[in-house]
Amino acid sequence: MKIDICKVTSNPDFARMAAEYLAYSLQDVKTYQNLTPKEREIISEEMFNSIQHLDTRQMFTELKQKHPDAILLFRIGDFYEARDKDAEVCSSILGITLTVRTNDKLAGFPHHALDTYLPKLIRAGHRVAICDQLEDPKMTKKLVKRGITELVSPRLT
């Protein structure tokens, strides 16, 4: 049974801030199931997942700022994802679905299809930054490190 923090304190804003603080302090934990039973009593799975989403969003934003003129293909598990304007461009050029999730526009494809989709983006005149996982997800308990591993530009003729 979840503890209703709002009943413990008379200030619901304080209660939410306390739960969010706990969630941030647990951001190195990779999955909700890895939390202790006591931690799971305090924080909901939904809140935990939203914090993890914010962490990957922050990573994406930082990498995008380094290469604002390139479409950023961000590796998440077995997929490359593009976000926001990049997602719109990818959806249009590649003919893949544009999805809206928690106010983010996303378009993605399986990582093994990169050789199919990358040339289409390059032929359309776009520069592409490929962000890969820099460590084995099975070997870390926290969010997987990612970085730009390849920057591909169209040839000038």
Question: Is 22 part of a structural domain of the chain?
Answer: yes
pLDDT score, position 135: 80
Q: Strand pairing of 70-76 and 127-133? A: parallel
Question: Is 157 part of a structural domain of the chain?
Answer: no
Q: Which of 35, 106, 32 is nearest to 73 (CA)?
A: 106
Question: Is 82 part of a structural domain of the chain?
Answer: yes
Question: Is 123 part of a structural domain of the chain?
Answer: yes
Question: Is 106 part of a structural domain of the chain?
Answer: yes
Find the CATH number of the domain harbouring 16. 3.40.1170.10
Return the minimum-mean-pLDDT range out of 59-63, 113-117, 126-130.
59-63
pLDDT score, position 4: 43
79: tokens are 């997929």
Write the CB contacts of 124 (distance below 8 Å, at least 6 apart in sequence): 93
Question: Is 124 part of a structural domain of the chain?
Answer: yes
For the chain, how many structural domains are there in total?
A: 1
pLDDT score, position 68: 93
- Residues spanned by the domain of 123: 5-152
67-78 confidence digits (pLDDT tens): 999 999 998 888
How many residues are present in the chain? 157
* Distance from C-alpha of 125 to C-alpha of 148, rounded to nearest angstrom: 20
Question: Is 146 part of a structural domain of the chain?
Answer: yes
